[in-house]
A and B are shown apart, each in its own frame.
Chain A
């Protein structure tokens, strides 16, 4: 705790600790300094020069985002004077914004970030003229694109803030992106602008969530789905991931972490989906399959057989791409279970179709996901049964919001709806899949209760909850055996996890890995929150609260108690990890190379 220093900022006086930044001090004083490239703890490069301020005693203007109050003190002084609103500062900030605008391709009305673009916000706020940009005497940089089926990089909108590069490095740990060339020709992309798909990218979308503008975005499938719904050639069934309901409302002005499940269902019905199901149902099924798989491996281990332990979850496709690319030697540790998205799709086409009397060949499954990598997962060659894709299209939460708006649905005034489908019934365990630790907690509830043949006293396993640590560990006594479990969120933490496994100090039975820090509630497809808000509140925590809230008040909280799941096994699957399950609900993985194509 450093000493308090008096800061006079625009004639307001505050006292803050010395290691506060000037921007922090301004915040305390109620002054909102404009910023573009600053993203706390992730990108602190002070590249944009929009947050510059005048500090008495310092010749040039200084970036308030990283300069600490104590570093501004003149020798012997114990207070500083800062000005953010002098002619000099205002002129400079205006110039810098104008310069950024000059090289930006404006198509705001079509841009998916129109409503939360951080550049547009500042241009509006300061009434910046686009004098340089509209003057033909000034050249615009060459637009450079990097297009994949999940993520699109568009340099014509890029402001070169570097937030995506830092997010990839610090949250995904894959360092796929960097600046290429230099000066005016600089652009962001993988080395030599090699295609993202073949550059070690795992499609987690942390870059998208870090981008202040529309330069990195999801591959948009809204038009494709509108076409599907309007043409009415197919029976279109929607499924909704656990995390979507916790964040969709944010695109319509609801506070972060509002559970809008009822409106979400209603909107999907209004959009014309022939049926609406809930991926939370398949989450419960996943627990049955994976729980059984875990018990199977543990039994083998206890019998002295060679078996790949720890078992590692496989529902995060970004994580799957990660391990296939960077740690393929551990592929046999992965659960062979498909993710809930894929299980739901497979079950819809090969079981549910019969139940509702629709020709399976006429069904298209559209999943609404918080995740970019799900677009990739749905296209994996393995993800089909008897020639039918498990999932046909994936829309991110953001795309669903755009679809709802495009089709003139007044989301805010929709009544809550419930869904009738048996594939929409879920337990609290299924609901918490969206938060880091959720899959682990759901699995442990079922595994412990099934093995001990009695209900758990306290269903909440708090050691696996929370976002503070990248790796959370817990030890549970199950049927007399003390078993170690770990939960990893953010692939940047995976190398450390493998180190712990290899060190051998602890033997882990089961590990949950989610590619995105905070879990799926913070997925790459979720509404993008501005840097200013991200700096101050833990969005992951707020959204997770919504889904833990669903679990807290749910009547049923263990997957194996879901009556529709029980029925599914009785009527169709027979037993978890049985013959039918293996055909529909299990998969295998491949080793991936990077920079393998020309």
Chain B
């Protein structure tokens, strides 16, 4: 009997932390019990993208998308769906759209996927990343074969340049041009090609998904890149906090060597290429290319001056190309499908797609890959499924701690490199955090700055000293002790840090502040002049009150850790604001929403 169905369990970090490996093992057990092991296969794949609904299990070929799967559900799915062919409706993904209320949607029919175009993520959720044959079966290593047997290095560079691929790590530098700059050293000295898999932005996990779900795409692209520029040695610098990705990458590299796709004379050509994994050690700054190289060299991870640029003097002083994971993930498809195909996707200056990690106050938290030019409105309300609990959209932060926030005025903006910059933010690596009316924008700025201050390498004055001072001012403001002079000082510091910091970390650290100052100045003013936090977040500036919705159930009183609430059963309760520590336990406990912050 041939395999008639495949159960694909998501093996991304998110689902794995929710026991998806146990779910997979349970499937294997149950399928065996039912004697279906020769008909139904089970494997773990990369991230499906709709992490909000994890653990995700998809049954092929009928494309049923099961969400929030638990180990206890497996038995039913096996008995009902796999054996009898009846979809388990209460576990199947349904959509709550006005047109399709509660309708079961199959994988790829789902609104979440409708506007996506998965190029970098093309194999995630489809292949088993532990099996190189599955990668090969989906045209894996065909691009490399074409490159090594039909194209010269310069033709490859020309091809990528004409396709218009831009770096996906944040800066958007044209990839072909970068490769060209390094290629002038080809044949003259040792050269290196590096993959930046440090992905330090909080909330960003695009690269993680590619590395966990489709490691071979990066390997293939690096060999292609090495060939194009003249490097026979590659390094993948990956953060140690991605153990699953590290494991799968190492496994993939081993398989690639075994199959002659790495090592000497690949595809029988003159080209040999070696690839190694190097681990990071918990420093966001090592995502900056010169600090990354310092780290590989065994030095302290601190950025260096540019010029000289890595393309001329990089790793160990040799010409080096560094590209982001997602940039590499696009290369094989561009080679195979051609320049016109890639040019047909995206906007005039930003071709292709971008993977975004959508998080925050959004229904469909997860990863999505969309063509450049998709509007923010589509991302948030269509793909993202809108804001939970019917709350009002307030802002969306793009670019992580280096980016800025976009407001409702920008909802119809087409997402591409130039547009985002013109709106005061940046593409960044692809993190997108959605905020609603309950987010305090001053606190948001403080949150990102706290991260930057912790991660500053300490080398240059403006970043080391300046960001910390900005944080102290913000803490003063959210602590209720801010003045208008503080806001001025904040802005002055922000501008001089932006102007004079040595590396991108410092230069972009003030962005969240400058952006929120520009778009939400009134919130800052409220904090310092009125000593109020309009969103009700900053503890020092809010008080908890019980309104007359109170039914006197006493749940709040019982839940208060400091006994700040008094009141008799069936009577209005009261909070002593001088004792209250603003933990919010009462608000959560109240069954009628009678407790507010103001």
B partners with A: yes
Residues of A at under 8 Å CB distance from B?
45-50, 52, 60-61, 63, 66-68, 71, 88, 91-92, 95-96, 99-100, 102-103, 132, 137-139, 159-160, 162, 178-179, 181-186
Q: Do A49 and B501 touch across chains, with their CB atoms under 8 A apart? A: yes
| B110 in contact (CB, < 8 A) | no
Report B280-305 residues with CB < 8 Å from chain A CB: 283, 285, 300, 302, 304-305
- What are 12 of the A-B contact pairs (CB < 8 Å)? A45-B305, A49-B460, A60-B501, A61-B499, A92-B462, A92-B499, A95-B497, A137-B472, A138-B469, A159-B461, A182-B457, A183-B464
Closest to B304 in A: A45
Known contacts A46-B305, A95-B496; A138 and B458 CB within 8 A of each other? no
Closest to A187 in B: B458
How long is the Cα–Cα vector from A528 to B132 in the complex, in angstroms? 64
- Closest 3 CB pairs between A and B? A186-B458, A99-B465, A95-B496
Q: Do A183 and B456 touch across chains, with their CB atoms under 8 A apart? A: yes
Q: Which residues of A contact B468 (CB under 8 A)?
A: 183-184
Q: Which residues of A contact B305 (CB under 8 A)?
A: 45-46, 63, 66-67
Q: Do A102 and B496 touch across chains, with their CB atoms under 8 A apart? A: no
Q: Which residues of A contact B472 (CB under 8 A)?
A: 137-139
Among B283, B304, B459, B461, the residue within 8 A (CB) of A99 is: B461
A99 to chain B, nearest CB (A): 4
Among A132, A137, A184, the residue within 8 A (CB) of B458 is: A184
How long is the Cα–Cα vector from A61 to B496 in the complex, in angstroms? 9
Q: Do A52 and B300 touch across chains, with their CB atoms under 8 A apart? A: no
Q: A60-B499, A91-B495, A96-B466 are in contact. List 9 more A-B contacts (CB 8 A).
A: A45-B304, A48-B460, A49-B460, A49-B461, A60-B500, A63-B502, A99-B465, A138-B469, A183-B454
How long is the Cα–Cα vector from A103 to B468 in the complex, in angstroms? 11
How long is the Cα–Cα vector from A100 to B462 in the complex, in angstroms? 9
| B476 in contact (CB, < 8 A) | yes
Q: Do B462 and A49 touch across chains, with their CB atoms under 8 A apart? A: yes
How long is the Cα–Cα vector from A123 to B462 in the complex, in angstroms? 17
Closest to A132 in B: B469
Q: Do A102 and B461 touch across chains, with their CB atoms under 8 A apart? A: no
Report B478-511 residues with CB < 8 Å from chain A CB: 481, 492-493, 495-502, 507
Interface centre among A63, A99, A160, A183 (most CB of B within 10 A): A183
Q: Do B458 and A182 touch across chains, with their CB atoms under 8 A apart? A: yes
Q: Which residues of A contact B457 (CB under 8 A)?
A: 182-183
How long is the Cα–Cα vector from A88 to B498 in the complex, in angstroms? 11
Closest to A71 in B: B307
Residues of B at under 8 Å CB distance from A?
283, 285, 300, 302, 304-305, 307, 453-462, 464-466, 468-469, 472-473, 476, 481, 492-493, 495-502, 507
Q: Is the interface of A mostly helix, strand, loop or mixed?
A: loop
Known contacts A91-B492, A95-B493; A47 and B500 CB within 8 A of each other? no
How long is the Cα–Cα vector from A159 to B460 in the complex, in angstroms? 10
Among A52, A66, A99, A178, the residue within 8 A (CB) of B466 is: A99
Q: Which residues of B contact A102 (CB under 8 A)?
A: 465, 469
Closest to A91 in B: B496
How long is the Cα–Cα vector from A184 to B470 in the complex, in angstroms? 12
Q: Which residues of B contact A49 (CB under 8 A)?
A: 460-462, 500-502
Q: Which residues of B contact A99 (CB under 8 A)?
A: 461-462, 465-466, 469
Known contacts A92-B496, A102-B469, A178-B300; A47 and B476 CB within 8 A of each other? no
How long is the Cα–Cα vector from A181 to B455 in the complex, in angstroms? 11
Interface centre among B455, B465, B473, B481 (most CB of A within 10 A): B465
How long is the Cα–Cα vector from A137 to B485 in the complex, in angstroms? 13
B310 to chain A, nearest CB (A): 14
How long is the Cα–Cα vector from A88 to B465 in the complex, in angstroms? 19
Q: Which residues of A contact B453 (CB under 8 A)?
A: 183-184
A191 to chain B, nearest CB (A): 11
Q: Do A68 and B492 touch across chains, with their CB atoms under 8 A apart? A: no
How long is the Cα–Cα vector from A505 to B132 in the complex, in angstroms? 56
Q: Do A179 and B469 touch across chains, with their CB atoms under 8 A apart? A: no
Interface centre among A60, A61, A181, A182 (most CB of B within 10 A): A182
